[in-house]
Amino acid sequence: MKIKAIHLLSKYNFLLAQLVQRDFKTRYRRSILGILWSLLNPLLIMVVQYLVFSTLFRFDIPNYSVYLLSGIVIFNYMTEATSQSMTCIIQNASLINKVYVPKFIYPFSRVLSSGVNFLFSLLALYLVIIATGMSITYSHIAMLFAIACLFLFICGISFMLSSIMVFFRDTQFLYSIIITIWTYLTPIFYPESILPKYMLYILKFNPMYHFIRFIRFIILSGGIPDLKAWVFCLLFALVSFVLGVLVFNKTQEKFILYL
């Protein structure tokens, strides 16, 4: 299965590149600032939330701007990629009904195009890191592991959502509610220390908490996370990816009946 997927990606790499390019161009069509919004958007969100939470709630978090922006950038990648992927099969229905293309290409291309946006957001994060005088150490290389795990996790969720959406169109409305709840259950703008004990236990089952915590530890502490952090990231990534692939493969032959 893995070898077949790699073969299909290499065979349709030109189409994949065109889909990614199309998605990226569509996002900034008729926009004056264009790609600069990938840098400005997380920065502007950070400024607003920083003013609100640092002034009203006064969380005692060192380098709060970096703490906040790192959470925003990582969580936004997941939110954007999965939301974009959810409708990709339906939006490409005319193409799917006319030309044979491996259907997993469509959600995968959305994850990649959102990934390009994520890289620009990371650049914004590092601009803030440099501006606040924080040091960038060799331990930052370990972030590649967390980002790779995050990518697999997002692919899995995207495969599942794009499949379910074909058969159950209310998925997009339910998912928007889930994302809202998920946002507040993830320590993006608040420290996990303010949560009661039972919430801390629930937090351990939140995949985004582990990805964000892994990357934040590297950036804020300048060290390497412990083995448990590596295991949790890898575990959530693999479980999501495997489930996503299984659901997508089991349902893709029926897509044409519901498009």
Low-confidence ranges of the chain (pLDDT < 50): 1
Sign of CA dihedral 201, 161, 34, 126: positive
CB atoms within 10 A of CB 158: 28
pLDDT at 213: 96
The confidence score (pLDDT) of residue 207 equals 97
The whole model's pTM is what? 0.88
Q: In this predicted model, what pLDDT tens digit does every residue of 26-52 receive, in sequence order? A: 666 665 555 666 667 766 776 777 676
Provide the CB-side half-sphere exposure for 121 (13 A, CA): 23
Quote the pLDDT of residue 151.
Answer: 97
Per-residue pLDDT tens digits for 91-121: 888 888 777 778 889 999 999 988 988 988 8
CA torsion sign, 66 to 183 to 150 to 5?
A: negative
| pLDDT reported for residue 196 | 87
What is the reported pLDDT for 236?
Answer: 97
Q: What is the DSSP string of 60-95?
A: --TTHHHHHHHHHHHHHHHHHHHHHHHTHHHHTHHH
pLDDT at 190: 87
> What is the per-residue pLDDT for 25?
65
User: CB under 8 Å to 101, separation ≥6 — which residues?
Assistant: 12, 15, 95
Domain boundary assignment for the chain: 2-258
Q: What confidence score (pLDDT) does residue 98 get? A: 79
Q: Judging by beta carbons within 10 Å of its beta carbon (0-12, 13-18, 19+), is residue 14 exposed, middle or buried?
A: exposed
DSSP characters for 3-69? HHHHHHHHHTHHHHHHHHHHHHHHHTTT-SSGGGHHHHHHHHHHHHHHHHIIIII----TTHHHHHH
